[in-house]
A and B are shown apart, each in its own frame.
Chain A
């Protein structure tokens, strides 16, 4: 008896979300591969430099918005059902949010891919930040809005389950996985209000021609109100895996239940009021808000540093249970031959590196050197592109048998997958970070300019390009390995007699956890107050001269 037998209804929802997630992953990854070859001038036979931006939009939207949101929806539905021991309360509602998100994804994809078809009048080469006055086809914005609204539906669905469970368990601690789900989703709903207002109130009417001129700074600010917190919406589900599943995969137990909850509480409080660090170099925003963003952004290092401690401590505990010893030698006792463990552990190592480049981005003084250079995608391919994506892929290897009742097919390919991703990302990210220090910009189809050339602080520009192209190629091969294992298991995996899906309790369990950490209303209230404090004055400044002033007409893309 495993998840699919106990919760067949929830399983169908999880599977449906995973199908959309993996289709988006495959397509978005293919686009990324083509881009890596194109912009390094390695191979340019597929697209021209104008179409590069259609593909870049597809890469960002399909991976950062669609793959993440759908995978998170499936992962969290799994966590809710197993932790609360409940099927979804009302399947019509559950399929409602699934199809809202899916229709939104299809509409946005039509708008983006329409740009590759000449003469159809549909295009959306506005990248995943879609800064006005760059203007996409209305379908793009409508699709984005549906995706966000669908994710709110999922949130409500999980709260329904939680409230029902609460009726029967009035005095229990919220189960740890459920605590993490609820706090992540509250943070996401609070954070996604910015993008929802931007898209629904400004961009949809504007793209339909109901409004002509738009003030570019206002939607940009609303976007980044959501745009930084969204990275924690991607990251917290990876933390969910690292805290609640990785210790078991290591052979041990979570170190501390309380600290896991504290970390999620801090993320609810601190994720949203720091969006201005993406606007450090914007005119039109005061220095005070920027310096506040420096402080708050660096403070949010704390929960991630705490996570590093707990995760490593839990892994060490597991390794010692498996017979490991010594100060460092215990690491050798970890199950490096198991793909789910190896993927999560390698993702964690890469996240440490991504954290270091993030500290540099957060520091206003040196951010001026790397802002909008290819250093930035170098950074977030370590964080969302590895810490999140590789964790999601790795835990898929562990979840699939529970969802299908089948054994993992092609275990050697599954084992090669996280290691090849790691190697590919080391190369690509290294090349990107260092090329950024040389001043090479992000978001460009060409490797250089006609009037001047870049000088590498160390190494050579050519060697960096080779690392980017080679790394991108290895990453694409790794992605194919992943998809082959998933499809193979799903269709042709041998039936599994037993599935090991048990998760042992934490060493310091919920009985040691203060009740206040479960107080959802309290923490949500403080989070709202912090957002109001951080955003009221700057938004009032921007609106003082009128919502659409100073305005400019649209520039259709």
Chain B
């Protein structure tokens, strides 16, 4: 009889980051679409509706939550536990490179071999790292648009993006990455949960994963 043991994997801070990030993205995308191309039109004047102002308000609250989440993640990339540190997902050790290859083969249905490890597999880890940098670009372009007259953001924003409009364009294009990411992320979480009984989905609620007892 196979035996499993519970292992603490994700800290409270990481789980907090994940849900702040996930929820804020939902609000940011929906309100962002409205701000870019408002789908409603207030037909009656003086009706005390304030849709654009409200959408922008929600967008900004969600944006600060999103920024807070990214701040937490950057802290954890440096000071987090063994699974959370950035070094754990970089393909720089033999163990990590091997995991990347095994994961790719498994995802392509070429091999059924599963490299069991407590933290992220390297493919997922690198995708999260990429998303982390996309998120930082979103934050920079967002604050540049929110505070265009503050010398700090004006200086950095113009250096990074060239103009308000270029920042807006980039901000809009990169939003699509988050939607594409969500589709793949949720699918692969379910897929992994079906394939191996590690409890990958519940781990983001409980912080606990299951590994074979050696």
Q: Report if A and B associate in a common complex.
A: no
Tell me the B residues contacting A by CB distance below 8 Å: none
Tell me the A residues contacting B by CB distance below 8 Å: none
